[in-house]
Amino acid sequence: MLDIRLLRNDPEAVKDNIRRKFQDSKLALVDEVIELDRKAREAKARCDVLRNQRNSISKEIGALLAKGQKEEGEQNKGKVAAIAEELARLESLETQLTAQIRERMLVIPNIIDPSVPIGKDDSENVELERFGEPAAPPFEVPHHIAIMENLRGVDLDSARKTSGNGFYYLCGDIARLHSAILSYARDFMIDRGFTYYIPPFMIRSKVVTGVMSFTEMENMMYKIEGEDLYLIGTSEHSMIGKFVDTILDEEQLPQTLTSYSPCFRKEVGAHGIDERGVYRIHQFEKQEMIVVCKPEESPRWFKILYENTVDFFRSLDIPVRTLECCSGDLADLKVKSIDVEAWSPRQQKYFEVGSCSNLGDAQARRLGIRVRNKESGNYFAHTLNNTVVAPPRMLIAFLENNLNEDGTVTIPQPLRMYMGGKELIK
């Protein structure tokens, strides 16, 4: 959510940002907010005047009654009653106007970083860098489900009976590999100085609307019927929510956190659910990293976060590339975003395995996450998040890049201690 002062002082900059995100339908919101804000400030100013008048007249009543001027005192009581009636009406109006302003402000997109490439959708995202040599094995690489089934590691048919499409049973060494990857990711991030968390897997609506846009909420979140609770789509949601209505001392920054959680997503949209795979599913597990920091430090932490993911995948010898999201592909709260994509030998192309985002102070404004500075005054923190790893999607890249011609899968050295010393899955 933007600072209302930006709309008051430079509405054209906000409109230009909306145009660069190809969301022209939202241009009218800027003028609506400015007009509503004008009315709200007028109502507030009038309320302040009325309160002063009421206080002044109330004092006069006491003085008049003390002098025995009962009639004049009663007249002033009538004035106070009239003021109270007008004040109640204006306070109600001010509350309504404030709610209408917030409703619109939550929809106006955040100001994107000047370095973000301008483009309409993900087809115009820009490749930044590649790490590792993409493999082209001398044998045909089967679909990832065929690899798993050959190793007796997945059961989609049973999951379809119990839960429908978009769910799965992992079993045997594939299930163990899934857990091993998450355990390794946990320790990888702890070794890099991040504090490990297991957060709540359900959050209240106040937190949901604080960490994401309405469109994302509608397309992603599962609502718990009859309760003000939602299943999290990623642990970022509850980890950022941890700081709601908090004032942090500057000495407490940066907060560098890594969290494990299951994730639940409707996956409403153009991509749909793959009946024969575990790439886009309703339930998965993930290791996440989150940073809360000073505004001037967020560009540096943004780079550190996505480099962590690159280093993690390269430690398992999986080729990856980084891809900068263009303006039209950025969610409304994001200032800048870089995807990390892993190489698929079967498809001979890269696919997304993680996304790193700098949200500026958007989430902090929505949730009231402030930093205390005694000299210059309190200010809003910046928040960032990035995926360390999200199996079972990551399993696709892992299995394809470590598959041998005889159908066995080589386990890289960093994972062997989590797999009981095994070197092969066969």
Q: Which of 72, 192, 280, 307 is catalytic?
A: 280
Evaluate whether residue 283 is within a structural domain: yes
Report the percentage of the chain scoring pLDDT > 90: 81
- Same domain, residue pair 97 and 143: no
Both 267 and 393 in one domain: the answer is: yes
pTM of the full structure: 0.89
Assess whether 51 and 147 both reside in one domain.
no
Mean per-residue pLDDT, 297-322: 97
Report if residue 199 sits inside a domain: yes
Q: Is residue 41 part of a domain?
A: yes
CATH number at residue 240: 3.30.930.10
pLDDT at position 271 over 80: no
**CA neighbours closer than 13 Å in the CB half-sphere of residue 97:** 19
Instruction: Give the mean pLDDT of the chain.
Output: 92
**Does 94 lie in the same domain as 160?**
no
Q: Is the pLDDT confidence value at 6 over 90? A: yes
- Give yes or no: 355 in active site: yes
Encode pLDDT of 178-235 as tens digits: 999 999 999 999 999 999 999 999 999 999 999 987 777 878 899 999 999 999 999 9
Annotated catalytic residue: which of 94, 355, 366, 370?
A: 355
385-421 confidence digits (pLDDT tens): 999 999 888 999 999 999 999 999 999 999 999 999 9
Domain boundary among 105, 135, 169: 105
SS (H, E, C) 194-249: CEEECCCCEECHHHHHHHCCHHHHHHHCEECCCCCCEECCCHHHHHHHCCCCEEEE
Is 140 noted as a catalytic residue in this protein?
no
Residue 421 sits in the same domain as residue 286: yes
Q: Is residue 280 in a domain?
A: yes
176, 366, 370, 393: which one is catalytic? Answer: 393
My answer on whether 33 and 146 are in the same domain is no
Q: Is the same domain home to 92 and 228?
A: no
What pLDDT band is residue 67 in, cutting at 50, 70 and 90?
A: low
pLDDT tens-digit series, residues 181-197: 999 999 999 999 999 99
Query: Of 19-28, 320-329, 335-344, 391-400, which gets the smallest average pLDDT?
Result: 391-400
Side chain identity, residue 314: R
Domain limit, last residue, from 105, 133, 152: 105
- Which CATH number do you get for residue 91? 1.10.287.40
Q: Please check whether residues 347 and 403 belong to one and the same domain.
A: yes
pLDDT at residue number 270: 47
**Are 207 and 181 found together in one domain?**
yes
Question: Is 280 annotated in the active site?
Answer: yes
**Is 376 a catalytic site residue?**
no
Q: Per the residue annotation, which of 265, 346, 366, 370 is the catalytic one?
A: 265
Domain end residue (candidates: 63, 79, 105): 105
Average pLDDT over residues 324-333: 95
Q: What is the pLDDT of residue 218?
A: 79
Q: How many structural domains does the chain have?
A: 2
Q: Same structural domain for residues 101 and 167?
A: no
Is 402 domain-assigned? yes
pLDDT of 82-117, one tens digit each? 888 888 999 999 999 999 999 999 999 999 999 999
The answer to whether 265 is a known catalytic residue is: yes
**Domain span holding position 375:** 122-425
pLDDT value of residue 272: 54
Residue 117 located in a structural domain: no
